[in-house]
Amino acid sequence: MRLKSIFTNSFGILVSRITGLGRDVLMASALGASVWSDMFFVAFKLPNLFRRIFAEGAFTQAFMPSFVASKQKGVFATAIFLRFLLFLTLASLLITLFPVPVTKLLAWGWNSEQIAQTAPLTAINFWYLDFIFIVTFIGTLLQYKEHFATTAMSTALLNLSMIGALLFFMHDNPKTVAYALSFSVLVGGVLQVITHLISLKHLNLQRILVGGWRYRNKKDITEEKQKFNQLFIPAVWGSSTAQINSFIDTMLATFLVSGSVSYLFYANRVFQLPLAIIAIATTTALFPSISKAVKNGRSKEAYLNLNNAFWLLAFALGIATTGGILFAEPIVWLLFERGKFAQADTIETSYVLMMYLVGLLPFGLAKLFSLFLYASHRQAAAAKIATVSLVFNIIASLMLIKPLGAMGLALAGSIGGWVLFILTVREVGTDKFIRIIKTAKLLYWILWMSGSALLFYLANLWLIEFIR
């Protein structure tokens, strides 16, 4: 297992997530859990959804195996890049001209006045998707050369841009803050593109694109593009369950009391921290080597990586889950309770966080097992699994939203995560999963979870007494 790549990726993501938390702390102080914070989060939801789909899953999982197998790598890469960039540019122009219908789709429960106020923010934020595609495309080329640091740390530039806007406009009215944040998203996207171009030049990978452009009409890659097309749509659907769950949460939360969208956003930000640092960092680092191993028939090497990564995630995500649930309220209090973010907001957000954390372990492990589906060009199977998981999530959301509110939406997402994990394991091979857990490590893991839960419980009691 490539521990150096994993830790490099984890460190980069940690930097990005720490700056992201700093951004959210300032945002909570400036906007609290208010109407304008809800408006910005809804406007930012669509590009952020696609950012996570592109940057943390679908594009890379479809492009990497196709790129590895391609005999005309430069021509293939150039063709895919131009096709996607043209489509996204046209989509951005369309949403700029007609932002109201898209905003209505994002916030079904809002009235026409709220939709009208949010629509311009939606139009501004959507252009970030064009920049993040360029970043993701170049980042995948860098991953092929097993360079992860630039992509892992680049999100920090987006966060720093938004932090700068918050610091500068902190004391202005909420509408000004929301618009400043939206434009800072675009500035952050430009900075991310620049850093990836520098890394591309440093690794001399621009030759792939230059050569691809030069010979684009002289090489026949029709078959390779067809194979990519067959992989991409299923990959989008199969790798996007967690993001789509969060997207559905936001839409349904617009029917709840004011601030519910913000509770979900802040809780999900904390939830995403261990998921990204541990699970996404590990799977991103392993995917290029697993893709190459599967293509070259080295299945023993691929499954050895699976075994080692499974226990790394099980121990790390296990302790993050128990600690996060037991310390949910202190965590939210420490990060967000200041300015316009009140004690009542802390309590509501901590309950939502607990429900999200129920799904941390299955979402992380599902990402690991799904690598083998994507590396072996079984994106369609992953898409079917994601569909079933999504259906369970929607049903659970509709059942739980009335009695539990925002908490119910978060819990429904976790239920979908468990379904995703179980079905993914079954598709990859239940026998392989049993061989992994049928060792002494399972006993160590149970002891680890029990001991950490007891330790965190006692620490939590001491913390409560100390605060009192």
Q: Does a structural domain hold residue 220?
A: yes
* Across 90-104, 190-204, 225-239, least confident range: 225-239
Residue 383 CA to residue 15 CA, distance in Å, equals 32
Section 378-388 average pLDDT: 83
Section 51-71 average pLDDT: 68
* Across 328-332, 359-363, 421-425, least confident range: 328-332
* Residues 6 or more apart whose Cβ sits within 8 Å of residue 141: 67, 77, 200, 205, 208
Residue 55 reports pLDDT greater than 60:
no
Angle among Cα 437, 440, 441 to the nearest 5 degrees reads: 60
- Class of residue 195 by CB neighbours under 10 A (exposed 0-12, middle 13-18, buried 19+): middle
Cα 192 vs. chain centroid, distance in angstroms? 17
Residue 292 CA to residue 209 CA, distance in Å, equals 21
Please give the structure tokens belonging to residue 106.
């994002």
Please give the structure tokens belonging to residue 341.
């973010």
Q: Does a structural domain hold residue 449?
A: no
In our burial notation (b when 16+ CB lie closer than 10 A, e otherwise), range 153-170 reads bbbbbbbbbbbebbeebe
Residue 77 CA to residue 228 CA, distance in Å, equals 11
Residue 33: its pLDDT value, please? 61
Residue 194 reports pLDDT greater than 70:
yes
Residue 254: its pLDDT value, please? 76
Sign of CA dihedral 264, 266, 269, 273: negative
pLDDT digits (tens, 9 = 90+) for 6-36: 677 677 777 877 888 788 778 877 776 667 7
Q: How many domains does the chain have?
A: 1
Nearest to 145 by CA among 203, 209, 103: 203
Residue 39: its pLDDT value, please? 79
Q: Does a structural domain hold residue 464?
A: no
Please give the structure tokens belonging to residue 405.
């509110």
- Taking residue 400's Cβ as centre, other Cβ atoms within 10 Å add up to 18
Nearest to 356 by CA among 232, 265, 454: 265
- Class of residue 464 by CB neighbours under 10 A (exposed 0-12, middle 13-18, buried 19+): exposed
Residue 4 reports pLDDT greater than 70:
no
Q: Does a structural domain hold residue 126?
A: yes
Residue 220: its pLDDT value, please? 58
Helix pair 406-437, 241-253: axis angle to 10 deg: 160
SS3 letters for the chain? CCHHHHHHHHHHHHHHHHHHHHHHHHHHHHHCCCHHHHHHHHHHHHHHHHHHHHHCCHHHHHHHHHHHHCCCHHHHHHHHHHHHHHHHHHHHHHHHHCHHHHHHHHCCCCCHHHHHHHHHHHHHHHCHHHHHHHHHHHHHHHHHCCCCHHHHHHHHHHHHHHHHHHHHHCCCCHHHHHHHHHHHHHHHHHHHHHHHHHHHHHCCCHHHHHHHHHCCCCCCCHHHHHHHHHHHHHHHHHCCHHHHHHHHHHHHHCCCCCCHHHHHHHHHHHHHHHHHHHHHHHHHHHHHHHHHHHHCCCHHHHHHHHHHHHHHHHHHHHHHHHHHHHCHHHHHHHHHCCCCCCHHHHHHHHHHHHHHHCCHHHHHHHHHHHHHHHHCCCHHHHHHHHHHHHHHHHHHHHHHHHHHCHHHHHHHHHHHHHHHHHHHHHHHHHHHHHHHHCCHHHHHHHHHHHHHHHHHHHHHHHHHHHHC
Residue 380: its pLDDT value, please? 79
User: Pick the residue with more confidence: 35 or 267?
Assistant: 267
Whether the CB-CB separation of 228 and 97 falls below 8 Å is answered with no
Q: Does a structural domain hold residue 443?
A: no
Q: Does a structural domain hold residue 250?
A: yes
Residue 371: its pLDDT value, please? 79
Q: Does a structural domain hold residue 446?
A: no
Section 204-232 average pLDDT: 66
> Measuring CA to CA, how many Å separate 304 from each of 78, 104, 307, 377, 458?
34, 48, 5, 20, 37
Whether the CB-CB separation of 373 and 428 falls below 8 Å is answered with yes
Section 66-71 average pLDDT: 71
Q: Does a structural domain hold residue 60?
A: yes
Residue 399 reports pLDDT greater than 70:
yes
Cα 308 vs. chain centroid, distance in angstroms? 23
Q: Domain of 16?
A: 3-437
Q: What is the mean pLDDT of the chain?
A: 80
